[in-house]
């Protein structure tokens, strides 16, 4: 088996000591190792944020793009080179605020890629503002009197938009996290894992402890093929369930695009010349 | 008697077959080797309203759709009234004599009455045949090949059954025969056949953009619908899968360009196309392409702005956003084609520049050239010169994505290449692609990215000269306004008034020295562009020599300049 270390770059993570994202990194390295992927066949894509620094810490191809745009960049890569293993990383602000539009559309297209969100309910990189997953009344620098908005349900958004693998994990439980990542990487289709990954510097409310206290593994008998069941679990505001909510086999975007391509064996020049002649 | 060229306008109620009559004549003329430019307007409503199809046919190259009408085909009185003002002295009017008779001064305008409706009803018992009767009659008047039209007709109506084909065929012949019998050859509308008969094809500027990209070898297109650029996306959707390519409609323009950049990062040429509002949305990602040094081509089809502006109307007001839009010091190339044919050619150039220099290239076209159909010489694929991205060749040394080189261009490792693993980033980065915030690295890397621009002038035919270079008066322009300017200069030359002309194709990096050289010593230079601020003129104003006076000809009426307007101002400044 490949060693997790072979996917680790020489760049030391810039995260604060104690940041939840370290556990996501080590779980990712182990999942890569178990997948047995060649380094050069992996492309790690991200937006902007503390969590989006991820690609720098991997010894793979990487694209640290702009805030909120990891998924369209990843879609472009996967569309052009379906044989590559494309994994996108980011934060809750990156994915569910500025990038929310891309998130639902990437799910809808069922692009064959893995999307790992480090969800700390806060904006880390910009030093502590309210995020779309911050709770109501949560006080931050941008909501000093308490957050006046309700939080988004990322998993519900993923499920209702057509994601075909939807899971939630905790960075305090790296073993399970690795399993969830592995499942996502093995899955053919848009696989999203929302990781409750605390920002120890700017979020004193959503900590390793409170995330653990408020979460609970999905019931043993949870049926991962039942979309409505998955949705109701994801909607549950009393407890944040962890584990695989939903898994489905569905054609991926690449399958549909491939099916459109004509395979009549004609040369490229001949085809273009045919188009030109049709315009006389 | 025969004529070298003619501006024909067909007008009628929507649903009267104006557009299809125009299309038949256009294709027949193009197949006979005539050069032409067409212009159409559809009413906003699906039914009802007024339709216009204008075609300028010539035995020689044409630059504009033409100012005045030489032949008006008005199916009803209302259509005649709407267009009579545009008739030139000596113009001819074809009208349906079974419907109305236009009131004109017959010493100036020649009337040609043909009872289209009555013929259809009485001779064919087929009222809908009126349009094909008109096509047949006009083909005879203009001396266009009937056989070609008959082939097109069969193709068009085949799906509707043999009987429909036959009825339309009969109508076509009836129109032809009626003119032959009743009007003879005396009308004087016979077009002189072109001197050199080259193989032509018909394309809109949008189609030419798409074809140019495909001729380069593009297989990955990402876009979002927007008037007047959507046809590029639709063309790609229809044709790219045939060459094993992909057109993906994104959720917005930010996604389209991000997808294109992603695809390009993975090693393939990629593009998107849009219009002003979309380009504004793309500006952050444009900077990303610049800093990660990923080739991408963006065709921006200008329309009237700002904001949503007038989506279907012509303007050239995106020069600033194309040249300067986006934050930071961003290396980019902006190329503005000057005609439909140039759209095809400059797209190939754009890909060559983008791929070789690893940067974003904007191809700036405009509504006027995007939607009009024009004849262009049939492109020869084996004449297309393609430049490809410089790829990393592997080796033992650690790969440095942004290693400095003399040209600024660093060989790229693309995913899949073992040992070439690296990260690119919108953050400033070191040679190996690690984030760096020190000023020294930023200065070094910015300079590296801009160094690549030095090669641009040798790769782009950045200036189009026309007219008499040494004339004391000049006209300076860009984009489709070059068409009207060239025509004006040609007409003035035929009247013995020399004018120097220059159309700037390469807008960024702007060829300032060449433009100043052009202006040097001239008494007056008129800068012609379809925008309010004089966006190009403002770049050069104040830099020219003491003798030269700059006059700006600007217009924001949503329609192209009339050649006459350019002629007037050139005559005025020459005095
Ligand atoms: C267009 C744009 N707007 C704003 C920013 C500033 N910005 C950088 S990261 C970020 C949010 C980070 O939060 P999140 O995505 O949750 O990641 P985290 O840092 O918490 O891991 C913001 C607002 C930016 N880089 N670009
Ligand atoms: S600021 Fe928060 S999210 Fe960012 S590295 Fe530090 S702990 Fe992690």
pLDDT of A265 reads 85
SS3 at position B80: helix
The verdict on the CB of residue A16 being under 6 Å from ligand 2 is yes
pLDDT of B47 reads 54
Contact A193, A168 (CB under 8 A): yes
pLDDT of A203 reads 98
Average of per-residue pLDDT values in chain A:
97
- Which residues are CB-contacts of B566 (< 8 A; sequence separation ≥ 6)? B475, B484, B485, B488, B526, B528, B553
Q: How far is B289 from chain A (nearest CA, A)?
A: 9
Contact B332, B56 (CB under 8 A): no
Give the position, in ligand 2's atom list, of the atom nearest the Cα of A20: 8
pLDDT of B49 reads 76
3-state per-residue secondary structure call for chain A: CCCHHHHECCCCCCCCCCCCHHHHHHHHHHHHHHHCCCHHHEEEEECCCCHHHHHHHECCEEEECCCCCHHHHHHHHHHHCCCCEEEEEEEHHHHHHHCHHHHHHHHHHCCCCEEEEEECCEECCCCCEECCCCCCCCCECCECCCCCCCCCCHHHHHHHHCCCEEEEEECCCHHHHHHHHHHHHHCCCCEEEEEECCCCCCCCCCCHHHHHHHEEECCCCCCCCCHHHHHHHHHCCCCEEEEEEEECCCCCHHHHHHHHCCCCCCCHHHHHHHHHHCCC
Antiparallel, parallel or unpaired: β A114-119 and A240-247: unpaired
Q: What is the mean pLDDT of residues B439-463?
A: 98
pLDDT for A115 beyond 90: yes
Cα(A52) to centroid(ligand 1), Å: 9
Structural tokens at position B144: 């266009």
What is the rounded distance in angstroms from the CA atom of residue B203 to the CA atom of residue B28?
Answer: 14
The verdict on the CB of residue A92 being under 6 Å from ligand 1 is yes
pLDDT for B42 beyond 70: no
pLDDT of B188 reads 76
Antiparallel, parallel or unpaired: β B500-504 and B463-467: antiparallel
The verdict on the CB of residue A124 being under 6 Å from ligand 2 is yes
Selected residue of B197, B203, B258, B394 to mutate for chain A interface (largest A Cβ count, 10 A) = B258
Q: What is the mean pLDDT of residues B323-337?
A: 97
Altogether, the residues listed in chain A come to a count of: 280
Average of per-residue pLDDT values in chain B:
95
What is the rounded distance in angstroms from the CA atom of residue A109 to the CA atom of residue A256?
Answer: 10
CB atoms within 10 A of CB A77: 29
pLDDT of B3 reads 81
What is the rounded distance in angstroms from the CA atom of residue B510 to the CA atom of residue B495?
Answer: 33
Percent of chain B residues topping a pLDDT of 90: 92
Q: Residue B256: name the closest of A72, A156, A25 by CA.
A: A72
Residues B280-304: pLDDT tens digits?
999 999 999 999 999 999 999 999 9
Percent of chain B residues topping a pLDDT of 70: 98
What is the rounded distance in angstroms from the CA atom of residue B494 to the CA atom of residue B468?
Answer: 12
Chain A contact present for B522, CB below 8 A: no
In order of start, what are the domains of chain B with their CATH numbers? 5-182 (3.40.920.10), 202-382 (3.40.50.970), 462-574 (3.40.50.920)
Q: What is the mean pLDDT of residues B46-52?
A: 72
- Residue with CA at minimum distance from ligand 2 atom 6: A16
Lowest average pLDDT, out of A128-132, A177-181, B192-196, B369-373, goes to B192-196
What is the rounded distance in angstroms from the CA atom of residue B28 to the CA atom of residue B155?
Answer: 14
Contact A77 B251 (CB under 8 A): no
The verdict on the CB of residue A171 being under 6 Å from ligand 1 is no
- Residue with CA at minimum distance from ligand 1 atom 23: A126
Contact B139, B180 (CB under 8 A): no
Contact A64 B424 (CB under 8 A): yes
pLDDT for B134 beyond 90: yes
Structural tokens at position A127: 């030093």
pLDDT for A264 beyond 90: no
Q: Residue B37: name the closest of B560, B444, B571 by CA.
A: B560
Nearest Cα residue in chain B from A261: B241
Percent of chain A residues topping a pLDDT of 70: 100
pLDDT of B462 reads 98
Contact A61, A78 (CB under 8 A): no
Residues B210-246: pLDDT tens digits?
999 999 999 999 999 999 999 999 999 999 999 999 9
pTM of the model: 0.96
Residues B61-95: pLDDT tens digits?
999 999 899 999 999 999 999 999 999 999 999 99
Nearest Cα residue in chain B from A280: B201
Q: What is the mean pLDDT of residues A218-230?
A: 98
What is the rounded distance in angstroms from the CA atom of residue B539 to the CA atom of residue B335?
Answer: 16
pLDDT of B108 reads 94
What is the rounded distance in angstroms from the CA atom of residue B101 to the CA atom of residue B147?
Answer: 31
Q: Residue B462: name the closest of B400, B492, B504, B412 by CA.
A: B504
Structural tokens at position A58: 């991997």
What is the rounded distance in angstroms from the CA atom of residue B551 to the CA atom of residue B527?
Answer: 6
pLDDT for B1 beyond 70: no
Q: What is the mean pLDDT of residues B526-550?
A: 97
CB atoms within 10 A of CB B52: 19
Residues B101-110: pLDDT tens digits?
999 999 999 9
Domain covering A4-249 in this structure, CATH number: 3.40.50.970
Which of A73, A101, A253 is nearest residue B261 as measured by Cβ atoms? A73
Contact B423 A56 (CB under 8 A): yes
Angle at CA of residue A84, ends A83 and A90, nearest 5°? 145
Q: What is the mean pLDDT of residues B437-443?
A: 97
pLDDT of B186 reads 67
Contact B407, B458 (CB under 8 A): no
What is the rounded distance in angstroms from the CA atom of residue B456 to the CA atom of residue B387?
Answer: 13
Q: Where in chain A is the domain with CATH 3.40.50.970?
A: 4-249
Q: How far is CA B17 from the centre of its chain?
A: 25
Q: What is the mean pLDDT of residues B494-506?
A: 98
Cα(A92) to centroid(ligand 1), Å: 9
Q: What is the DSSP letter of B376?
A: E
**Residue B13 pLDDT level (bands cut at 50, 70, 90):** confident
Would you state the torsion angle of the CA atoms of residues B465, B470, B474, B477, taken in this order, to the nearest 10 degrees? 10
Q: How far is CA A215 from CA A52, A211, B435, in A?
A: 25, 6, 36
- Which residues are CB-contacts of B30 (< 8 A; sequence separation ≥ 6)? A280, B36, B200, B201, B202, B375
Q: What is the mean pLDDT of residues B466-470?
A: 97
Q: What is the mean pLDDT of residues B153-181?
A: 95
Q: What is the mean pLDDT of residues A85-107?
A: 98
pLDDT of B48 reads 61
pLDDT for B187 beyond 80: no
pLDDT of B43 reads 59
pLDDT of B550 reads 98
pLDDT of B497 reads 98
ipTM of the modeled complex: 0.98
**Residue A205 pLDDT level (bands cut at 50, 70, 90):** very high
| Cβ contacts of A84 on chain B, cutoff 8 Å | 266, 415-416
Q: What is the mean pLDDT of residues B26-31?
A: 94
What is the rounded distance in angstroms from the CA atom of residue A56 to the CA atom of residue A71?
Answer: 17
């Amino acid at each position: 088996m490949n060693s997790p270390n072979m996917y680790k770059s020489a760049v030391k993570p810039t995260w604060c000591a104690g940041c939840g994202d370290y556990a996501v990194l080590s779980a990712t390295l182990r999942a890569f190792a178990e997948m047995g992927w060649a380094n050069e066949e992996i492309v790690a894509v991200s937006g902007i944020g503390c969590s989006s620094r991820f690609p720098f810490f991997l010894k793979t191809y990487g694209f640290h793009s702009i805030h909120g745009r990891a998924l369209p960049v990843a879609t472009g890569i996967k569309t052009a080179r379906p044989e590559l293993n494309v994994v996108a990383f980011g934060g809750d602000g990156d994915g569910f605020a500025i990038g929310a539009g891309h998130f639902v559309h990437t799910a809808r297209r069922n692009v064959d890629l893995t999307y790992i969100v480090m969800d700390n309910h806060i904006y880390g990189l910009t030093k502590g503002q309210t995020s779309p997953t911050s709770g109501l009344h949560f006080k931050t620098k941008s909501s000093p009197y308490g957050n006046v908005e309700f939080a988004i349900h990322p998993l519900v958004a993923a499920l209702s938009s057509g994601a075909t693998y939807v899971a939630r994990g905790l960075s305090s439980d790296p073993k399970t996290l690795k399993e969830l990542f592995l499942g996502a990487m093995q899955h053919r289709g848009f696989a999203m894992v929302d990781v409750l990954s605390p920002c120890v510097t700017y979020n004193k409310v959503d900590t390793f402890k409170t995330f653990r206290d408020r979460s609970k593994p999905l019931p043993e008998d949870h049926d991962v093929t039942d979309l409505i069941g998955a949705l109701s679990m994801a909607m549950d505001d009393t407890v944040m369930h962890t584990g695989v909510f939903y898994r489905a086999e569905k054609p991926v975007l690449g399958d549909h695009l491939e099916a459109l391509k004509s395979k009549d064996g004609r040369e490229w020049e001949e085809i273009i010349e045919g188009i030109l002649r049709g315009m006389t | 008697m025969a004529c070298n060229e003619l501006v024909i306008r067909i007008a009628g109620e929507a649903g009267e077959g104006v557009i299809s009559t125009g299309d038949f004549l256009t294709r027949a003329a193009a197949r006979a080797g005539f050069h032409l430019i067409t212009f159409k307007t559809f009413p906003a409503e699906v039914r009802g309203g007024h339709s216009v199809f204008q075609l300028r046919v010539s035995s020689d190259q044409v630059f504009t759709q033409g100012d005045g009408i030489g032949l008006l085909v008005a199916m009803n009185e209302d259509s005649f009234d709407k267009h009579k003002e545009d008739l030139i002295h000596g113009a001819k009017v074809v009208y349906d004599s079974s419907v109305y008779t236009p009131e004109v001064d017959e010493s100036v305008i020649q009337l040609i009455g043909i009872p289209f409706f009555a013929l259809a009803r009485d001779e064919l018992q087929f009222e809908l045949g009126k349009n094909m009767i008109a096509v047949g009659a006009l083909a005879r008047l203009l001396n266009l090949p009937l056989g070609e039209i008959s082939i097109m007709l069969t193709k068009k109506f085949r799906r509707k059954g043999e009987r429909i084909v036959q009825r339309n065929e009969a109508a076509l012949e009836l129109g032809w025969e009626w003119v032959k019998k009743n009007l003879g050859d005396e009308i004087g509308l016979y077009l002189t056949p072109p001197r050199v008969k080259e193989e032509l094809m018909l394309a809109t500027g949008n189609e030419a953009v798409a074809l140019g990209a495909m001729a380069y070898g593009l297989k990955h297109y990402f876009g979002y619908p927007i008037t007047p650029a959507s046809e590029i996306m639709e063309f790609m959707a229809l044709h790219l899968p045939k060459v094993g390519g992909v057109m993906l409609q994104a959720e917005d323009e930010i996604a389209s360009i991000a997808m294109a950049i992603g695809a390009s990062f993975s090693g393939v040429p990629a593009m998107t196309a849009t219009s002003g509002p979309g380009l504004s949305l793309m500006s952050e990602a444009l900077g990303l392409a610049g800093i990660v040094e990923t080739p991408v081509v963006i065709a921006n089809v200008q329309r009237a702005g700002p904001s949503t502006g007038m989506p279907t109307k012509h303007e050239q007001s995106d020069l600033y956003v194309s040249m300067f839009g986006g934050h930071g010091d961003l290396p980019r190339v902006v190329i503005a084609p000057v005609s439909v044919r140039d759209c095809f050619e400059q797209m190939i150039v754009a890909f060559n520049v983008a791929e070789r220099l690893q940067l974003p290239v904007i191809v700036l076209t405009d509504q006027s050239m995007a939607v009009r159909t024009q004849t262009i010489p049939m492109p020869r694929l084996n004449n297309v010169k393609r430049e490809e991205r410089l790829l990393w060749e592997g080796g033992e040394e650690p790969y440095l994505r942004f290693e400095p080189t003399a040209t600024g261009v660093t060989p790229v490792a693309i995913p899949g290449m073992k040992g070439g693993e690296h990260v690119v980033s919108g953050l400033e980065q070191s040679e190996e692609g690690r984030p760096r915030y020190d000023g020294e690295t930023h200065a070094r890397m910015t300079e590296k990215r801009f160094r690549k621009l030095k090669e641009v002038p040798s790769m782009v035919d950045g200036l189009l000269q026309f007219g008499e270079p040494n004339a004391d008066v000049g006209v300076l322009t860009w984009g489709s306004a070059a068409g009207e300017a060239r025509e004006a200069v040609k007409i003035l030359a035929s009247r013995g008034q020399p004018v120097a002309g220059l159309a700037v194709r390469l807008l960024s990096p702007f060829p300032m020295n060449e433009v100043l050289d052009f202006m040097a010593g001239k008494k007056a230079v008129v800068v012609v562009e379809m925008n309010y601020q004089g966006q190009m003129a403002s770049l050069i104003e104040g830099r020219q020599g003491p003798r030269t006076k700059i006059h700006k000809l600007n217009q924001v009426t949503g329609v192209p300049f009339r050649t006459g307007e350019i002629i007037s101002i050139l005559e005025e400044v020459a005095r």
